[in-house]
């Protein structure tokens, strides 16, 4: 769910139906990050309703990953505000935002390759602090942990690999495991940075299905370079270009937007 241009009253009304009574799951106001003279993210505004599937798309270098780092707290804001379920988290650490329900995956996988699928998820369930105590000690899941692992491997399509080492499963399955790891902390808002990056065409479909099948009350923000994949998954879309919001709306509105078509399919000189 996103803000739309103020003139687009019909769209605003249509999208507002999905808004729950309370606060937005995520709300950005004037969010900016400068690297020297470069405005990597420049006054971005965005509103995402609880349970929405919201895609952030744009060419390489548009500022998508930087925006996620600003939302998660890994990077400090140069200006602007980030609200998570109504709370102003702009000055919170990444750890505190994670505790408040913000989960994320990375563009580069985050899986411990020497451990099994089960062990990877177990460590995520127990939290980072538990790693050094549990890894070489009591590493068997309790009954409750076992049930939760079973649920997560099912949701993420890696049930049949539960006892395989992460290094022994395909790259596509590792990305699915990474999603299970992110879900283990039961986030309310999940940021997915290019979940289909590096996947073969045959692996992209299953990943899209998994994202589609995530719990409906989970709010999902998805960065995706592949516009068709993103638009097929999302209810609402923000298009970034040179750090700024170029367009926003439903997938159809974004598809029909001439400036977006220009950036993706148009004139030479664009870096799409
Ligand atoms: N730590 C950094 N220091 C300097 N420039 C950066 C840094 N991180 C990203 N950038 C620059 O910011 C712009 C946006 O990058 P990024 O957010 O990674 O784009 P995207 O994810 O959309 O491809 C790029 O020009 C990139 O080179
Ligand atoms: Mg990126």
- Judge if 118 and 85 occupy the same domain: no
In a domain, 154, yes or no: yes
Residue 58 Cα: closest atom of ligand 1: 22
At 228 the pLDDT is 86
> Which residues surround ligand 1 with Cβ inside 6 Å?
35, 38, 40, 58, 60-66
- Judge if 271 and 182 occupy the same domain: no
Q: What distance in angstroms lies between residue 17's CA and the mean position of ligand 2's atoms? A: 31
83 in Cβ contact with 266 (< 8 Å)? no
Ligand nearest to the CA of 37: 1
Residue-range definition of the domain harbouring residue 203: 1-101+188-272
At 267 the pLDDT is 55
Q: What's the rounded Cα separation, in Å, for the pair 220 and 218?
A: 6
- Judge if 65 and 24 occupy the same domain: yes
- Judge if 75 and 141 occupy the same domain: no
Q: What distance in angstroms lies between residue 47's CA and the mean position of ligand 2's atoms? A: 20
In a domain, 106, yes or no: no
DSSP secondary structure string, 74-95? SS--SEEEEEETTEE-TT--HH
- Judge if 139 and 255 occupy the same domain: no
In a domain, 53, yes or no: yes
At 5 the pLDDT is 40
Q: What's the rounded Cα separation, in Å, for the pair 55 and 104?
A: 14
Q: Which protein residue's CA is at the shortest distance from atom 6 of ligand 1?
A: 35
Q: What distance in angstroms lies between residue 105's CA and the mean position of ligand 2's atoms? A: 12
At 10 the pLDDT is 40
Ligand 1 site-directed mutation target among 34, 40, 76, most atoms within 8 Å of CB: 40
- Judge if 195 and 220 occupy the same domain: yes
| DSSP 8-state assignment for residue 235 | S
At 134 the pLDDT is 55
Number of domains forming the structure of the chain: 2
Residue 68 Cα: closest atom of ligand 1: 17
Q: Which protein residue's CA is at the shortest distance from atom 17 of ligand 1?
A: 63
- Judge if 81 and 119 occupy the same domain: no
- Judge if 75 and 199 occupy the same domain: yes
Boundary-marking domain end, from 128, 155, 186: 186
Ligand 1 site-directed mutation target among 61, 194, 197, 246, most atoms within 8 Å of CB: 61
CB burial readout 34-60, b (16+ within 10 A) else e: eeeeebbbbebbbbbbbbbbbbbbbbe
Q: Which protein residue's CA is at the shortest distance from atom 12 of ligand 1?
A: 40
- Judge if 85 and 198 occupy the same domain: yes
In a domain, 22, yes or no: yes
| pTM tops 0.75, yes or no | yes
Boundary-marking domain end, from 142, 162, 186: 186
Kindly give the confidence (pLDDT) of every residue in the chain, 272 residues in length, as a single tens digit, with 9 standing for 90 and above.
Answer: 444 443 444 444 334 444 445 789 999 999 999 999 999 999 999 999 999 999 999 999 999 999 999 999 999 999 999 999 999 999 999 999 999 999 998 766 678 889 999 999 998 898 755 655 555 555 688 899 999 999 999 999 999 999 999 999 999 999 999 999 999 999 999 999 998 888 998 999 999 999 999 999 999 999 988 888 899 999 999 999 999 999 999 999 999 999 999 988 775 444 44
Q: What's the rounded Cα separation, in Å, for the pair 28 and 36?
A: 22
Tokens of 250: 């439903």
């Amino acid at each position: 769910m996103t803000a739309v241009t103020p003139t687009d009253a019909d769209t605003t009304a249509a999208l507002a139906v999905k808004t729950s009574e309370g606060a937005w799951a995520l709300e950005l106001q004037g969010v900016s990050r400068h690297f020297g003279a470069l405005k990597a993210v420049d006054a971005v505004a965005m509103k995402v309703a609880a349970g929405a599937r919201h895609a952030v798309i744009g060419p390489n270098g548009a500022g998508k990953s930087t925006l996620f780092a600003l939302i998660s707290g890994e990077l400090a804001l140069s200006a602007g505000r980030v609200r998570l379920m109504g709370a102003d988290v702009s000055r919170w650490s990444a750890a505190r935002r994670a505790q408040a329900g913000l989960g994320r995956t990375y563009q580069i996988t985050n899986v411990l390759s020497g451990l099994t699928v089960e062990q990877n998820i177990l460590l995520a369930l127990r939290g980072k602090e538990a790693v050094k105590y549990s890894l070489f000690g009591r590493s068997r899941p309790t009954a409750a942990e076992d049930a939760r692992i079973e649920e997560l491997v099912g949701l993420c399509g890696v049930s049949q690999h539960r006892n395989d080492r992460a290094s022994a499963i395909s790259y596509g399955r590792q990305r699915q495991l990474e999603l299970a790891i992110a879900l283990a902390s039961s986030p309310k808002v999940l940021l997915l940075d290019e979940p289909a990056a590096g996947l073969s065409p045959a692996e992209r479909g299953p990943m899209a299905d998994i994202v589609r099948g995530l719990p409906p009350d989970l709010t999902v923000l998805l960065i995706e370079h592949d516009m068709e994949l993103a638009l097929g998954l999302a209810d609402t879309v923000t298009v970034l270009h040179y750090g700024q919001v170029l367009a926003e709306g439903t997938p159809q509105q974004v598809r029909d937007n001439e400036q977006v078509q220009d950036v993706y399919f148009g004139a030479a000189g664009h870096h799409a």
